[in-house]
Every structure is written in structure tokens, then in C-alpha cells.
Amino acid sequence: MAFEFTDSNFEETALSGGVAIVDFWAEWCGPCKMVTPIIDELSTDYEGKATIGKVNVDDNPEVSMKYGVRSIPTILFIKDGEVVDKHVGVATKASLEQKLAGLLEGANA
């Protein structure tokens, strides 16, 4: 199951170093529901290697505003506390894995 990022835990979890993928979503968003199982699978596949989770934009407006999330789903790729990539809209597991693998390779270099 994907990690649940919130306004109160975002800095110490997503920005604490290493690699994180953050999916901004909402309960009422159809495309978000298509991305949810992919994020859940990635969080299991990369457990211990990256922090992968979700932010409910309705429940956590501060972090959503801070990162300028206007459309959902929006997926942020964070490395060592900095946003290094962003994807807006539905994404395939393969495309997300490719970006994640690139970030993890860079972390091991």
C-alpha cells in the first residue's frame, strides 16, 4: 500500500533525502483512480529503495498549493529534497518505472 503523505508529514518524509514519488489525487477524480493501483504496485516493488505515496489534494491543500498542483493526477519525482521531474495526467507503470530507475541509478552513482 502506498504511503500517505499529508501537509504535516510531507517535509520529513518526501523531502528527507533519497528518492520519492508523490501522486497528487482526489477521491472524485476518475483518472486518479486509474493511477492508484500503479502507485500501490510501485510502492511494494520499490519498498526500501524509494518512498512512494499519495497526497489527497482535498485533505492537504497546503502541500498541493506549495507545489502548484492545479491538475490531477500530478506525480512529482523528488530526489534529495528537490523536485526533479513532474508528470501530469495518467501514466503507465512502465513510464513511471523508467523515471524511477533513472533517479535510483543516479542515487547509487
- The tens digit of pLDDT for each residue in 62-78 reads 999 999 999 999 999 99
> pLDDT tens, 5-51?
999 999 999 998 899 999 999 999 999 999 999 999 999 999 999 99
Which DSSP string do the residues of 51-63 spell out, in sequence order?
EEEEEETTT-HHH
- For the chain, the structural domain boundaries read 3-108
Has 107 been annotated as catalytic?
no
In the numeric block, the cell 491543500 is attached to 61
Catalytic residue among 20, 22, 32, 96: 32
Per-residue confidence band for 109, with pLDDT thresholds at 50, 70 and 90? very low
Please give the backbone phi and psi of residue 53, each rounded to the nearest 5 degrees, phi first. Answer: -165, -165
32 catalytic per annotation: yes
Q: What is the CATH number of domain 3-108?
A: 3.40.30.10
CA 109 to CA 93: how far, in whole Å?
A: 24
Determine which one of 29, 83, 84, 104 is catalytic.
29
